[in-house]
């Protein structure tokens, strides 16, 4: 079979959206790496840009390819790479933009004194790329700007690609001094396929424990992505300064650095028969839920399962000890025992069992619980009492122990 792709395959969302995703994660990496006095923008001055504290700016053109070499590595950045030349052409136009008051050579040189240009890509670097080599030689004083200009002209004249010729002409249209100043500030950030791990390494550098990096990344990624969407929706530019990042997102690092237990939502399967759970039977008996109240029964079941799955995860990861688990359970039991005893002191008729049971339930569900010195959210507190009544080792009516059978 041939390797030809259909038109649908070549224009599929997967092949185009990954470029946008790569650009976003490159931006996220730069945001997570911010230092005081710096800021990062997404599609403001360039694909991504960084303003440094010394009034210098870095403009990043971010390019991604899904094409592979024979060994499975991303396609090489070649001498005639259209993405590379289109990028150099775009930067040349930015430098000489008369609408940005840079029509004169002097203003172009002033701009270059405070600007660096970086082509960032997952494309593979290779020694046969003569454009990268000749720019590198210029930066190291091995050749001159005239040598570079001569080579660019020969490359243009030998090419049959009209688009490539146009891009090279745009670069050559710069004044020779400007061309030199430009190329002295052009850099290539290649072989960068694992951009997400760079984001995680940036989080790691903030002293986040290894076992919490993935969770911290997921939360920060979600929060920043959402904020970006809202900014664009409101017509604002996506630009984040260190101070803004510190004020708005510092709490995420605090959560994962300070040893607090990280609570995860329950995402597993619900029991096949919700009404057959012992704790639901107990609640139905005192009239707190109806047998047909599916939404409430589902919610209370999630409270119970969220509590139990988090306790198991914390125990398995070594974040809580058996002693802390026992203390948590004992405190919950003591709250119930005290309230249960007070409600059934003296003579209480069976007609009062449901009323008393609701009063006990109301009391314990409003109690605040903690484990390892950390206060639990209300759904986890309630989930603990539902779990205990599901075993069952507590109940609401005076005759609750019949559910042990």
Residues 125, 77 contacting (CB under 8 angstroms): yes
Domain count, the chain: 2
Instruction: Give the residue among 143, 133, 138, 151 at the shortest CA–CA distance from 182.
Output: 138
Residues 96, 160, single domain; the answer is yes
Residues 187, 88, single domain; the answer is yes
Residue linked to tokens 């599609």: 43
Give the pLDDT confidence of 172-183 residue by residue, as tens digits. 999 999 999 999
Tell me whether strands 115-121 and 48-51 are parallel, antiparallel or unpaired: unpaired
Query: Considering the domain boundaries, does residue 333 fall inside one?
Result: yes
Give the pLDDT confidence of 214-223 residue by residue, as tens digits. 989 998 999 9
Query: Considering the domain boundaries, does residue 238 fall inside one?
Result: yes
Confidence of residue 5 (pLDDT cuts 50, 70, 90): low
Query: Considering the domain boundaries, does residue 368 fall inside one?
Result: yes
Number of neighbours of residue 266 by Cβ within 10 angstroms: 18
Residues 156, 59, single domain; the answer is yes
Confidence of residue 212 (pLDDT cuts 50, 70, 90): confident
The upper half-sphere exposure of residue 47, i.e. CA atoms within 13 Å in the direction of its Cβ, equals: 24
Residues 190, 318, single domain; the answer is no
Which residues does residue 39 pair with via DSSP β-bridges, in sequence order? 51, 241
Top-confidence residue, 136 or 16: 136
Phi then psi for residue 369, to 5 deg, are -115, 155
Cα(357)–Cα(382) distance, integer angstroms: 15
DSSP structural state of residue 206: T
Residues 205, 302, single domain; the answer is no
Residues 297, 392, single domain; the answer is yes
Residues 117, 207, single domain; the answer is yes
Structure tokens at 1: 């079979």
Residues 305, 212, single domain; the answer is no
> Over pLDDT 70: what percentage of the chain?
96
Q: What is the pTM of this model?
A: 0.68
pLDDT at 281: 97
Phi then psi for residue 61, to 5 deg, are -95, 125
Residues 222, 309, single domain; the answer is no
Across the range 355-369, mean pLDDT stands at 96
Query: Considering the domain boundaries, does residue 264 fall inside one?
Result: no
Give the pLDDT confidence of 262-317 residue by residue, as tens digits. 899 999 999 999 999 999 999 999 999 998 999 999 999 999 999 999 999 988 87
**Residue 54 lies in domain:** 7-252
Structure tokens at 300: 């209370």
Q: How many helices (H) and strands (E) does the chain have?
A: 16, 8
Residues 217, 348, single domain; the answer is no
pLDDT at 11: 42
Query: Considering the domain boundaries, does residue 190 fall inside one?
Result: yes
Taking the alpha carbons of 340, 346, 351, 355 in that order, is the dihedral positive or negative? negative
Give the pLDDT confidence of 321-330 residue by residue, as tens digits. 888 899 999 9
Judge whether residue 85 has pLDDT over 90: yes
Give the pLDDT confidence of 101-156 residue by residue, as tens digits. 999 999 999 999 999 999 999 998 888 899 999 999 999 999 999 999 999 999 99
Query: Considering the domain boundaries, does residue 150 fall inside one?
Result: yes
Query: Considering the domain boundaries, does residue 340 fall inside one?
Result: yes
On the question of a cis peptide bond just before residue 392, with omega within 30 degrees of 0, the verdict is yes
Residues 341, 216, single domain; the answer is no
Kindly give the residue spans of alpha helices, DSSP state H, lying in 241-348. 242-257, 278-285, 294-316, 322-343
Residues 192, 125 contacting (CB under 8 angstroms): no
Query: Considering the domain boundaries, does residue 67 fall inside one?
Result: yes
Taking the alpha carbons of 204, 207, 211, 214 in that order, is the dihedral positive or negative? negative
Cα(7)–Cα(18) distance, integer angstroms: 18
Residues 119, 240, single domain; the answer is yes
């Amino acid at each position: 079979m041939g390797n030809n792709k259909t038109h649908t395959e070549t224009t599929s969302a997967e092949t185009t959206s990954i470029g946008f995703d790569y650009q976003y994660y490159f931006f996220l990496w730069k945001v997570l790496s911010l230092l005081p006095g710096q800021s990062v923008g997404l599609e403001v001055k360039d694909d991504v840009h960084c303003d440094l504290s010394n009034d210098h700016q870095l403009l990043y053109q971010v390019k991604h390819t899904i094409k592979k070499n024979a060994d499975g590595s991303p396609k090489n950045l070649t001498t005639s790479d259209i993405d590379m030349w289109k990028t150099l052409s775009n930067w040349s136009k930015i430098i000489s933009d008369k609408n940005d008051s840079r029509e004169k050579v002097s203003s172009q040189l002033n701009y270059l004194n405070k600007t660096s240009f970086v082509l960032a890509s997952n494309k593979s670097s290779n020694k046969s790329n003569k454009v990268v080599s000749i720019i590198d030689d210029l930066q190291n004083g091995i050749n001159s700007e005239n040598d570079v200009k001569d080579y660019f002209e020969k490359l243009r004249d030998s090419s049959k690609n009209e688009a490539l010729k146009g891009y090279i002409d745009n670069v050559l249209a710069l004044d020779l001094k400007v061309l030199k100043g430009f190329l002295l500030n052009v850099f290539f950030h290649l072989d960068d396929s694992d951009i997400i791990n760079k984001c995680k390494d940036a989080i790691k550098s903030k002293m986040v424990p290894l076992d919490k990096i993935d969770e911290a990344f997921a939360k920060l990624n979600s929060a920043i992505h959402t904020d970006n969407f809202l900014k664009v929706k409101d017509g604002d530019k996506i630009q984040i300064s260190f101070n803004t990042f510190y004020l708005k997102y510092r709490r995420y690092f605090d959560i994962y650095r300070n040893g607090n237990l990280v609570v995860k939502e329950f995402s597993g399967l619900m029991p096949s028969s919700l009404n057959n759970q012992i704790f639901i039977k107990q609640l139905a008996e005192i009239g707190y839920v109806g047998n047909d109240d599916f939404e409430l029964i589902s919610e209370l079941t999630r409270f119970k399962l969220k509590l139990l799955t988090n306790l198991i995860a914390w125990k398995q990861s070594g974040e809580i000890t058996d002693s802390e688990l026992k203390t948590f359970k004992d405190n919950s039991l003591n709250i119930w025992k005290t309230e249960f005893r007070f409600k059934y002191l003296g003579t209480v008729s069976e007609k009062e069992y449901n009323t008393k049971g609701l009063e006990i339930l109301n009391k314990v569900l409003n109690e605040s619980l903690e484990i390892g010195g950390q206060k639990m959210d209300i759904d986890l507190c309630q989930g603990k009492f539902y779990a205990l009544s599901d075993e069952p080792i507590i109940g609401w009516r005076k005759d609750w122990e019949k559910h042990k059978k």
